[in-house]
Structure 1
């Protein structure tokens, strides 16, 4: 009996551990895309929302976030977007995240050719491969975006997110190609680059256009950077402050600047990206308890939000299911019926 018991127990253990080994938490997939513009292969990391493959609801479309420095930011950023998009507390819609892995970072993210001699060794030239950002943004706009739109269910709303040189790239893209994205995020951007060439471009833009494009958003974070006491990054701090003054003085842009005390250049992206998402999608959250009192409030809120964003947004089927369940479990019969009808209007049965 003992031998049989041991055999059965061992068999069950093997089945359990085998099954357990097969359970994986997957946050994304890798795709390779050859770029004719850049004449090289680019690796792209894709994160899909939790409801993307849910076969209990109708296939939905999602906003897309293009995340620079993908190999550094992808893991935490995808968890962040999932967390603040969870119902019924969602501050943002569920989003597809496209992480772009670097090959030649300085080349791709800097707007001009800026060669500097190393302060340590004057025989070494810094940033010799710089100045390729126009090619890189062309790759994103003409090759990467069509690839993503073809292969995934995307909504007509996109965000560009960058840090340091990536933040510099985001702001330059906003100035030169504002229609490429709906919102831009620049965490501690390297606006000191090439004698503050981007500051000059901003002045020129405002002199020519007077105002920034309507229904666009720009978020800039700034790190405390204790290193500035050692004059390590005083140029960066001054340039960001100068840019902030110019933007806020104009007042025509949906703009926010956040200063993070105690954060360094290397850590500011995490709190910056959280605040950026909440800022860009401000107005998305609805109060489910208030909906019980006034069911029409949901459509009113989404109408206001869509007008602000310049793109049509409607309540997701997943969220409507949560609302209907809430109304049913709390005995709100009339609101329950209202939202069931609303769901049928938005998502008729196939």
Structure 2
């Protein structure tokens, strides 16, 4: 009789930590190439760690393992390596891959015009009220605070503790920010407000619709109102990858449990978001400017909002390894 030993599975060459901030704890996860040592150092002492792209992935609980798997498969095929840094929330380890209340604050931009009021709802869809019976609204517009956390806390922690073999941030050849949905919206916010922090910005299915497209009227307009960013320290202008799935607006298909009514409601909901239309329009505007080294637009046939996320990672990282790698 064959005997099997059952054990908890762990992913090699990864580590994580939880950092406490005044705005709540964040979980930071890191992975590095399988042909490096378990301590995060290359086996070949002559290998230039600074030349390996570092890819920051938002909503890390949902996409850390996906990004790590893609990086390792592409290393096998393209002979290019990546380091993945994913940022998420410790709450998601026991509840779900997303923490809606946290990410809705962290990933949405502030706006001079004000912010929408979204009622908090319980598990049964009922609006939550406070002790006086007043509605409780979701906190929104914290992108500036979250961006500061990345710059002041997470990035310094990366080379100081999580991966000490990594050089200082400004010495890295290729720095990438990748986000989906609200994460894609934050990626655009980071690009428009701090274009030199990363070299490549991958905004997947970005929620441009948020707050009546305030990202366009405010942050994009301010960015384009400035002279094109000058290439500093040998760096090129930023690269932007925009994408969406046609199933988010153009080719909406019914789900197995849809009724005619629920399918129609979902079609109407997606039509209001203009995911493909907004992404196309932004790409068309930005491609006409002198602010970028490249603006690349893709639409994934039949992919819906959730399935498009991993396709975007795959396509973006493939393009990165073959064309956008500053250190190649």
TM-score (norm 2): 0.72
Match of 2:53 in 1: 63
**Alignment of 1:242 onto 2:243:** no
Between the aligned partners of 1:70 and 1:23, the Cα distance in structure 2 is 19
Match of 1:105 in 2: 103
User: Cα gap change, 1:224/1:23 in structure 2, threshold over 3 Å: closer, same or farther?
Assistant: closer
Between the aligned partners of 1:215 and 1:130, the Cα distance in structure 2 is 30
User: Cα gap change, 1:126/1:282 in structure 2, threshold over 3 Å: closer, same or farther?
Assistant: farther
> Which has a greater percent of helix?
1
Aligned partner of residue 196 in structure 2, secondary structure? helix
1:114-154 per-residue CA deviation (whole Å, 9 max, x = no partner) reads 22456x98998796300111010110111100000213122
1:240-289 per-residue CA deviation (whole Å, 9 max, x = no partner) reads 222122112225421101011100111111111111122233348xxxxx
Match of 1:33 in 2: 19
For the pair shown, the structure with the greater C-alpha radius of gyration is 1
Higher RCO (CA-CA < 8 Å; seq separation 6+): 2
Residues 91-240 of structure 1: matches in 2 within 5 Å? 93-102=80-89, 104-112=102-110, 114-116=115-117, 128-151=138-161, 152=163, 153-154=165-166, 156=172, 157-200=174-217, 201-209=219-227, 214-225=236-247, 230-234=267-271, 235-237=273-275, 238-240=277-279
Between the aligned partners of 1:24 and 1:208, the Cα distance in structure 2 is 47
Between the aligned partners of 2:224 and 2:290, the Cα distance in structure 1 is 11
Q: CA-atom RMSD, angstroms?
A: 3.1
User: Cα gap change, 1:85/1:129 in structure 2, threshold over 3 Å: closer, same or farther?
Assistant: same
Unaligned runs of 5+ in 2: 90-98, 120-124, 130-134, 253-266
Aligned residues: 269
Between the aligned partners of 2:138 and 2:32, the Cα distance in structure 1 is 37
TM-score (norm 1): 0.68
8 A contact 1:114–1:130 mirrored in 2:
yes
| Deviation, structure 1 residue 75 | 1.5
Aligned partner of residue 67 in structure 2, secondary structure? helix
Aligned partner of residue 209 in structure 1, secondary structure? coil
| Deviation, structure 1 residue 208 | 2.8
1:290-333 per-residue CA deviation (whole Å, 9 max, x = no partner) reads xxxxxxxxxxxxxxx6xxx2xxx36xxxxxxxxxxxxxxxxxxx
Unaligned runs of 5+ in 1: 1-9, 285-304, 315-350
